[in-house]
Amino acid sequence: MPLKVGDKFPEGVKFDFAPITDPDPTSCGRPSEYDASKEFANKKIVLVSVPGAFTPGCQAFHIPPYLQNASKLAEKGVDEVVIIASNDAFVMNAWGKVNGVKGDDKVKFMSDTKTKFSETHGWQAGMGDRNGRWAMVIEKDGKISYSEVEKSPGEVTVSGAEAVLSKL
């Protein structure tokens, strides 16, 4: 069941994460388990789910505004933006690199294959195992303050950076 405004971010949420350690998209370290329930504690997180890395809507319209608005999000108190998709951690790492993300950036690209958060606490796209297109804001106390899903996975409105910024 999707989390809604006022719900608490659940325990036991884990993603696969291959940290960006160099700019070469053809090389990648070993993915490790990222305990989101622990790592998100006492941080304001924007969690963005997309149907797939490198897909036209995600690459052209959804993710670039988050990267372009990273400083504005930080000014509004956001500690990190976490992008998840059902792609594996190697693909998510390469996608981050292709988009110019560095290891110390406040934007992280992670794989939602560990606990399938989008399936259990978010929304699916209705296209096989793909994640839906949605965004959530998790406050420092763990409560959800924003949770919206696109009516169609091809749209970027309520899950886009501008919509999230307007609600912070």
Which residues does the annotation mark as catalytic?
A: 58
Q: Residue 158 to residues 51, 74, 98, 132, 146: CA-CA distances in angstroms? A: 15, 19, 25, 12, 10
Please list, residue by residue across 81-120, b when 16 or more beta carbons sit within 10 angstroms of its beta carbon and e when fewer do: bbbbbbbebbbbbbbbbebebeeebebbbbbbbbbbbbee
Q: Which two tokens stand for residue 111?
A: 């794989």
109 and 101 Cβ atoms separated by less than 8 Å = yes
